[in-house]
Structure 1
């Protein structure tokens, strides 16, 4: 049995399903059924912010997958990569492939902060902080938001200026519980799912050394390297489509059982 051409898109911090609006029509034109989620406690979601954590995010995406007619490619942008990984751990039979767009592809038990600390120890001269120093916090530091100028400079610097300003203006407050997350993964489940990492060489948020470190820590992903910033689905959606879909077509054209040999030791 072949895989279905379903694709579920998971946004990163401070975003919503709108983050994929420029890319979705290109995917649909190639025959993909695309569903972009709004994670609990983010953007227009009506869910209680108590569900803005890895368990709540994973459960939400699993409900979306259960509504589909077959397995789906699950795409995680930035911090959405952590939810994508956990979804594959929870239901590998429902995930035909994982795609990380400058995404947090982390080993079991390792946080993004841990990766930053490891990279800083190896090269203290490089600035790995990304958006962190620019964030605005509520009184108890349970929620953060991104100033417009920082979003334009660090997330959207290489996007069309009008589209960038629209996207920066839509960024929403983010519960910190939805950022400080740690995956729990196994080779027997997560490790069986084919993975693709879309590396963004001009990223000023999840900088290239961090992306490369995560690929080394979680080996086995096929790599696409784009000369763009943090948001390839807005900066260069056609280039992203042209690079990604041939690999996905190769994966989805294979019988499902051929894809289920362990790919990593998580």
Structure 2
């Protein structure tokens, strides 16, 4: 299976480097993505939008002869969702890594500090303690050294969803900050941010207890879970 890895904010495709070996050991082909505007600190981000970012990955998906697995970490999750909405027949499974789908018109994050046409990596003090579990000082320094300002409009543009067939695409949620048990409680309570997740017809849940960046804090375990989930047949929940 071809597995397309979409990083979250501030990260390029190389941020998956420690995750890839376990995915490939499971027999899959990993394709880490560097999203438009994150090629370098000096990249031109002025024309990069959420729609253009999704379109760039749709183009990648269209280059494969068979359906692919899309993996989205954090803000990469709604991007993967947008791709599945555009090509529901070309996505074998969506895997959300400490992430989840947005409702139509939702935005990924419009509360982060903005500088010009970009959202730089904020100070660590702006993150929740749960975000930072296992991200020690060394890993924080590594993250900060590789961080690239996020194109503003990827963060603040509304996600446009058009095709109800997206609800039929099998999905997996890898729960890191909050356990599956908590997510299911929120779903049962009808918490608004779970509204789109509640509409998905085939969802598997996996727990990987750590902070918000498991590609740094538990990369081998994350890769192993992605490898297993990429092989999961549709309709198989356990």
User: Counterparts of 1:148-167 in structure 2 under 5 Å?
Assistant: 149-150=124-125, 156-159=132-135, 161-167=137-143
Deviation at 1:249, TM superposition (A): 1.3
**Paired residue for 1:247?**
229
Q: Distance in 2 between matches of 1:152 and 1:89?
A: 30
SS of residue paired to 1:250: coil
Structure 1 residues 179 and 16: CA distance shift in structure 2, 3 A: same
Deviation at 1:160, TM superposition (A): 5.7
Q: Distance in 2 between matches of 1:238 and 1:6?
A: 18
> Per-residue displacement from partner, 1:112-139 (whole Å, max 9, x unpaired)?
469xxxxxxxxxxxxxx7xx3xx4x42x
**Paired residue for 1:146?**
121
**Paired residue for 1:168?**
144
Q: Distance in 1 between matches of 2:215 and 2:229?
A: 17
TM-score, length of structure 1 as denominator length: 0.72
**Paired residue for 1:6?**
2
Q: Which runs of 5+ in 2 are unaligned?
A: none
Deviation at 1:229, TM superposition (A): 0.4
SS of residue paired to 1:166: helix
8 Å CA contact 2:132, 2:211 repeated in 1: yes
Deviation at 1:244, TM superposition (A): 3.9
Does 1:229 find its partner at 2:211?
Answer: yes
Structure 1 residues 151 and 16: CA distance shift in structure 2, 3 A: farther
Q: Distance in 2 between matches of 1:199 and 1:164?
A: 21
> Per-residue displacement from partner, 1:216-241 (whole Å, max 9, x unpaired)?
54223322222110011221123223
Q: Distance in 2 between matches of 1:46 and 1:172?
A: 9
**Paired residue for 1:77?**
73
Aligned residues: CA RMSD: 3.2
8 Å CA contact 1:42, 1:52 repeated in 2: no
Structure 1 residues 6 and 246: CA distance shift in structure 2, 3 A: same
**Paired residue for 1:189?**
165
Corresponding residue pairs, total: 225
Q: Which runs of 5+ in 1 are unaligned?
A: 115-128, 260-266
8 Å CA contact 1:202, 1:230 repeated in 2: no
8 Å CA contact 1:200, 1:208 repeated in 2: no
8 Å CA contact 2:41, 2:148 repeated in 1: no
Q: Distance in 2 between matches of 1:244 and 1:113?
A: 25
Which of 57, 61, 64 is the matching residue for 1:61?
Answer: 57
Q: Distance in 2 between matches of 1:48 and 1:96?
A: 33
Q: Distance in 2 between matches of 1:64 and 1:21?
A: 19
Q: Distance in 1 between matches of 2:220 and 2:195?
A: 27
